Amino acid sequence: MTQTVVTPGLALQDIIFEHTDTGAYIVYHRHEQKFLVADNPWNTFTHNDTRYVPLKRVPWPTAHIPKDYESEEALFNRVKKFFIEHLDVANELMYDVYAAFVLASWIPENFTVVPYLFFIGPLASGKTRALECFHRLCYRSIMATSMSAASLFRALEAWHPTLLLDETEIYNRKEMVEVLAILNSGYRRGQYAIRIEKVQNNVPQIAVFDTFGFKVLAGTQELADTL
């Protein structure tokens, strides 16, 4: 019996598929190293008795249908050039770090541990501009300025996005504890954030959230030393 799963895409053992700006999937076969559909993406995709359906809307810039590029080095340099043109930094070596971070965000399945980037500085120092650059380029990048802590947990569990968290100090004390829980558990694969959703008939309903993924933060103050 075929089950239906609504998802923006998945990285399976032999197949990778992702929601594109056409509103449909593009599908890549890992072993054959080729796209199964290039010019005519599928509105649904069936694999191993599961029918996958794209989301009607996604809260990140959708990917285009991939085009050939000369080499990984050429792609790296192209991303690096984007940062050079749009962001001023004190140390130009950071352009290499930013480009590497962007490219790595597109292959999270290859990592068991991921880094965070943190832009710290006074107001109007370019922090939001930096996040906007990453928002344009990173995999499933979500600008989380207006999201509650509870929404962050659910978005990370459902979509495994690159989280862009602006002005970390806007959260109240209770929410900040939740945000720190996301950050403390989200850098290593296999670590989870556990929360009590509600208590029903005196029995706590416990939810487990997978918060693993690349994250970029910005704020005027340093975060906890444990990060």
pLDDT greater at residue 179 or residue 85: 85
The mean per-residue pLDDT over the stretch 19-42 comes to 79
User: Is residue 23 located within the same domain as residue 102?
Assistant: no
**Where do runs of H (alpha helix) occur along the chain?**
72-86, 93-105, 127-137, 149-159, 173-185
pLDDT score for 40: 53
> Does 47 lie in the same domain as 98?
no
| Mean pLDDT within 106-130 | 92
Same domain, 40 and 78: no
Structural domain contains residue 118: yes
The structural domain count of the chain equals 2
Domain with 119 in it: what CATH number? 3.40.50.300
pLDDT of residue 108: 94
Burial of 16 (0-12, 13-18, 19+ CB in 10 A): middle
**pLDDT classification of 4: cutoffs 50, 70, 90:** very high
Range of the domain at 34: 3-53
Of the listed ranges 58-67, 84-93, 197-206, the least confidently predicted one is: 197-206
Residue 106 covered by a domain: yes
In tens, the pLDDT along 126-158 reads 899 999 999 999 999 999 876 788 889 999 999
Q: Region 215-227: what's the mean pLDDT?
A: 77
- The answer to the question of residue 213 being in a domain is yes
Beta strands (DSSP E) in the chain are 3-6, 9-11, 15-19, 25-29, 34-35, 45-47, 50-53, 116-120, 141-143, 162-165, 192-200, 203-210, 215-219
Q: Is residue 126 domain-resident?
A: yes
